[in-house]
Amino acid sequence: TTPEQKLQIVEECKRRGETVAVTGGGVNDAPALANANVGIAMGVNGSDIAKQAADIILTDDNFASIVKGIEEGRLLFDNLRLSIAYTLAHLWPEIFPVVLHFTLGMPLGLSPLQILSVDLASELPPAISLAYETPETAIMHSRPRRRDARLVSRSLLIYSYLFAGTIITAGCIMAYLSVYWSHGIALQDLLFTAEYNWKVGAQNFTTSDGLVFSEEEQLYIKGQAAAAWQITLVLTQAKNCSNDLA
């Protein structure tokens, strides 16, 4: 085929909505390589002009490397999605303690130091490890992704925020409140008490049932509740990580 025919084939395939990859190494292949979606030039025997026109240079001139590269690319895409989904799921449980504190005046469920420890100690290593997962299925047997497929898709955001994030947040809130309930403190007793209670120098706290808690007792209970929130967050995220791998 002539260079014009090769270029015509590429342009016609692209006009029909196909994703075109072209391999070549000669000077005559340069127009087709440049106009293809992915131009692949031979690195050993290819000409300099072909290499400049191509998007990828095949350093070993082995066509099997193209298949291997596609497989690695698919695996990387899938693993990054897993890592992002896992990481986004813990944002709601970290934001909600602040929301409850400033809107309803409840004792802070997570301290800044706890949030930092969660992000650096319990969240970062699993998120990184997900990027090194081996293929779960025969990924080369699946259909190629759509050209407009995004790394962070709508379904991923729905799963991370509305499904996993909501469940984890609800579990953390229940664990947090259960500590106060175990000490005889109801939810309505906690509302709008953070300004004068649950901190160093706090005044005595009295519940609707007449129970009185000193400053030391308030700090102790608050610490227990914050620990319950953090432990629940870490454990549920561990379960979420295992679900991502399933």
Give the whole-angstrom CA distance, residue 58 versus residue 61. Answer: 5
Give the whole-angstrom CA distance, residue 153 versus residue 228. Answer: 32
67 located within any domain? no
Residue 244 scores a pLDDT above 90: no
Q: What is the pLDDT of residues 185-210, one digit of tens each?
A: 999 999 999 999 999 999 999 999 99
Which of residues 18, 35, 61 is at a domain's end? 61
Residue 60 scores a pLDDT above 70: yes
Same domain for 84 and 133, yes or no, is yes
- Tell me what pLDDT residue 185 has: 96
Q: Which domain holds residue 52?
A: 3-61
**Could you tell me if 67 and 42 are in contact, meaning their C-beta atoms sit under 8 angstroms apart?**
no
**CATH code where residue 52 lies:** 3.40.50.1000
Which of residues 40, 61, 82 is at a domain's end? 61
Residue 73 scores a pLDDT above 60: yes
User: What's the rounded mean pLDDT across residues 42-62?
Assistant: 91
Same domain for 8 and 57, yes or no, is yes
Structural domain count, the chain: 2
- Tell me what pLDDT residue 156 has: 92
Residue 132 scores a pLDDT above 90: no
Question: Strand order of the sheet with strand 56-58?
Answer: 21-24, 38-42, 56-58
Give the whole-angstrom CA distance, residue 20 versus residue 34. Answer: 11
**Could you tell me if 101 and 109 are in contact, meaning their C-beta atoms sit under 8 angstroms apart?**
yes
66 located within any domain? no
Same domain for 54 and 123, yes or no, is no
Q: With bands split at pLDDT 50, 70 and 90, how would you rate the model's confidence at 3?
A: confident
Q: What is the mean pLDDT of the chain?
A: 92
Q: With bands split at pLDDT 50, 70 and 90, how would you rate the model's confidence at 112?
A: very high
Q: What is the pLDDT of residues 84-109, one digit of tens each?
A: 999 999 999 999 999 999 999 999 99
User: What's the rounded mean pLDDT across residues 109-132?
Assistant: 91
